[in-house]
Structure 1
Amino acid sequence: MLRLPRRLSHLRGIRYSSSTPRFPCVEAHATRQSRIASSFSSSSGPEPPYARPNPTSYTVFHSQTPLPLAYHSSPLPTFDIAYETWGTLSPSKDNVILLHTGLSASSHAASTSANPTEGWWEKFIGPGKPLDTNTFFVICTNVLGGCYGSTGPSSVDPETGVPYATHFPILSIFDMVRAQFRLLDHLGVEKLYASVGSSMGAMQSLAAGWLHPERVGKVVSISGTARSTPSSVAMRYAQRSVLMADPNWNNGFYYDALPPHTGMKLARQIATITYRSGPEWDARFGRQLRPLPDDASPAETRVPALCPDFLIETYLDHQGEQFCLKYDANSLIYISKAMDLFDMTRPALQALRLPEAAALSESESASSSSSDLARHTTSHSKSHPPPTNPPPHLSALAQGLAPLARTPALVLGVQSDILFTIEQQREVVDALRMAGNDRVVYYELGGVWGHDTFLLDVLNVGGAIRGFLS
Structure 2
Amino acid sequence: MSVARSWSGLARTIQPSTVQCRATRPRTRTPVAARQQPSLATRKIHQQASRTAQLAAAGPDEVASSNPALSFPCLDAHESRSASLSKRSLSGPEPSYTSGHTLNFHSRQPILLDWGGILPEFDIAYETWGTLNHDKSNAILLHTGLSASSHAHSTESNTKSGWWEKFIGPAKPLDTNKYFVICTNVIGGCYGSTGPSSIDPANGERYATRFPILTMEDMVRAQFRLLDNLGIQKLYASVGSSMGGMQSLAAGTLFADRVRRIVSISGCARSHPYSIAMRHTQRQVLMMDPNWARGFYYDGVPPHGGMKLAREIATVTYRSGPEWEMRFGRRRADPSRPPALCPDFLIETYLDHAGEKWCLEYDPNSLLYVSKAMDLFDLGQKHRERIKKLRSANSGKLQAYLDGNTIKTDSSSDVCSLTLPDKPYEEKEQPAEFNASAVEADGGEPPADLVAGLEPLANTPALVLGVASDILFPAWQQHEIATTLRRTGNKNVTHIELGEEKSLFGHDTFLLDLEHVGGAVKSFLG
Report the counterpart of residue 106 of structure 2 in structure 1: 62
Report the counterpart of residue 347 of structure 2 in structure 1: 312
For 1:135 and 1:410, how far apart are their aligned partners in 2?
Answer: 19
Letter in 1 for 2:341: L
How big is the shift at 1:22? 2.3
Over 3 Å counting, the alpha-carbon distance change for 1:355 and 1:169 in structure 2 is: closer
Residues 371-411 of structure 1 show CA distances to partners (whole Å, capped at 9, x for unaligned) of xxxxxxxxxxxx99984x525xx221111100000000000
How big is the shift at 1:52? 1.6
How big is the shift at 1:303? 1.2
Letter in 2 for 1:466: K
Report the counterpart of residue 367 of structure 1 in structure 2: none
1:343 aligns with 2:378: yes
For 2:388 and 2:480, how far apart are their aligned partners in 1?
Answer: 25
Report the counterpart of residue 189 of structure 2 in structure 1: 146
1:420 aligns with 2:476: no
- Report if aligned partners of 1:290, 1:314 keep a CA contact under 8 Å in 2: yes
How big is the shift at 1:356? 10
- Report if aligned partners of 1:196, 1:220 keep a CA contact under 8 Å in 2: yes
Instruction: Report matched runs for 1:121-200 at 5 Å.
Output: 121-200=164-243
1:444 aligns with 2:497: yes
For 1:253 and 1:41, how far apart are their aligned partners in 2?
Answer: 15
- Report if aligned partners of 2:267, 2:473 keep a CA contact under 8 Å in 1: yes
How big is the shift at 1:17? 4.6
How big is the shift at 1:21? 3.7
Report the counterpart of residue 85 of structure 2 in structure 1: 36
- Report if aligned partners of 1:208, 1:216 keep a CA contact under 8 Å in 2: yes
The DSSP-based 3-state class of the residue aligned with 2:520 is helix
Report the counterpart of residue 390 of structure 1 in structure 2: 445
Over 3 Å counting, the alpha-carbon distance change for 1:242 and 1:385 in structure 2 is: closer
1:217 aligns with 2:260: yes
Letter in 2 for 1:352: I
Letter in 2 for 1:39: R
Seq. identity, %? 60
Residues 197-246 of structure 1 show CA distances to partners (whole Å, capped at 9, x for unaligned) of 00000010000000001000000000000000000000000000000000
Letter in 1 for 2:272: T
Over 3 Å counting, the alpha-carbon distance change for 1:163 and 1:206 in structure 2 is: same
Instruction: Report matched runs for 1:264-343 at 5 Å.
Output: 264-291=307-334, 301-343=336-378
Over 3 Å counting, the alpha-carbon distance change for 1:468 and 1:75 in structure 2 is: same
For 1:277 and 1:410, how far apart are their aligned partners in 2?
Answer: 24
The DSSP-based 3-state class of the residue aligned with 2:276 is helix
Letter in 2 for 1:411: V
How big is the shift at 1:433? 0.7
Uncovered stretches (5+) of structure 1, i.e. residues with no partner: 9-14, 293-300, 358-382
For 1:354 and 1:210, how far apart are their aligned partners in 2?
Answer: 17
Letter in 1 for 2:368: I
Letter in 1 for 2:348: E
Letter in 1 for 2:44: L
Over 3 Å counting, the alpha-carbon distance change for 1:355 and 1:401 in structure 2 is: farther
Report the counterpart of residue 44 of structure 2 in structure 1: 2
- Report if aligned partners of 2:114, 2:391 keep a CA contact under 8 Å in 1: no
For 2:473 and 2:224, how far apart are their aligned partners in 1?
Answer: 26
TM-score w.r.t. the length of structure 2 is 0.77
1:459 aligns with 2:515: yes
1:201 aligns with 2:256: no
- Report if aligned partners of 2:145, 2:243 keep a CA contact under 8 Å in 1: yes
For 1:23 and 1:308, how far apart are their aligned partners in 2?
Answer: 9
Q: Report which of the two structures shows the higher radius of gyration computed on alpha carbons.
A: 2
How big is the shift at 1:176? 0.0
For 2:513 and 2:391, how far apart are their aligned partners in 1?
Answer: 36
Letter in 2 for 1:218: R
Instruction: Report matched runs for 1:221-260 at 5 Å.
Output: 221-260=264-303
Over 3 Å counting, the alpha-carbon distance change for 1:319 and 1:354 in structure 2 is: farther
The DSSP-based 3-state class of the residue aligned with 2:83 is helix
Report the counterpart of residue 48 of structure 1 in structure 2: 94
Report the counterpart of residue 20 of structure 2 in structure 1: none
- Report if aligned partners of 1:211, 1:356 keep a CA contact under 8 Å in 2: no
Residues 22-59 of structure 1 show CA distances to partners (whole Å, capped at 9, x for unaligned) of 2111111001111112222332xxx32144213xx111
The DSSP-based 3-state class of the residue aligned with 2:388 is coil
Letter in 2 for 1:100: H
- Report if aligned partners of 1:69, 1:353 keep a CA contact under 8 Å in 2: no
Uncovered stretches (5+) of structure 2, i.e. residues with no partner: 1-42, 53-63, 393-438
How big is the shift at 1:354? 6.9
For 1:178 and 1:191, how far apart are their aligned partners in 2?
Answer: 14
Over 3 Å counting, the alpha-carbon distance change for 1:385 and 1:440 in structure 2 is: farther
For 1:147 and 1:334, how far apart are their aligned partners in 2?
Answer: 11
Letter in 1 for 2:469: S
The DSSP-based 3-state class of the residue aligned with 1:225 is coil
- Report if aligned partners of 1:70, 1:354 keep a CA contact under 8 Å in 2: no
Residue number among 75, 78, 99 corresponding to 2:118 in the alignment: 75
Report the counterpart of residue 524 of structure 2 in structure 1: 468
How big is the shift at 1:16? 3.2
For 2:516 and 2:343, how far apart are their aligned partners in 1?
Answer: 35
Residues 240-286 of structure 1 show CA distances to partners (whole Å, capped at 9, x for unaligned) of 00000000000000111111000000000000000000000000000
How big is the shift at 1:349? 1.1
1:16 aligns with 2:65: yes
Letter in 2 for 1:70: D
TM-score w.r.t. the length of structure 1 is 0.86
Give the aligned length. Answer: 422
Residues 409-433 of structure 1 show CA distances to partners (whole Å, capped at 9, x for unaligned) of 0000000000000110000011111
Q: Bigger CA drift: 409-418 or 437-446?
A: 437-446
For 2:315 and 2:484, how far apart are their aligned partners in 1?
Answer: 30
- Report if aligned partners of 2:88, 2:94 keep a CA contact under 8 Å in 1: no
For 2:391 and 2:304, how far apart are their aligned partners in 1?
Answer: 40
For 1:246 and 1:386, how far apart are their aligned partners in 2?
Answer: 43
How big is the shift at 1:324? 0.2
For 2:97 and 2:219, how far apart are their aligned partners in 1?
Answer: 22
Over 3 Å counting, the alpha-carbon distance change for 1:224 and 1:174 in structure 2 is: same
The DSSP-based 3-state class of the residue aligned with 2:171 is coil
The DSSP-based 3-state class of the residue aligned with 2:509 is helix
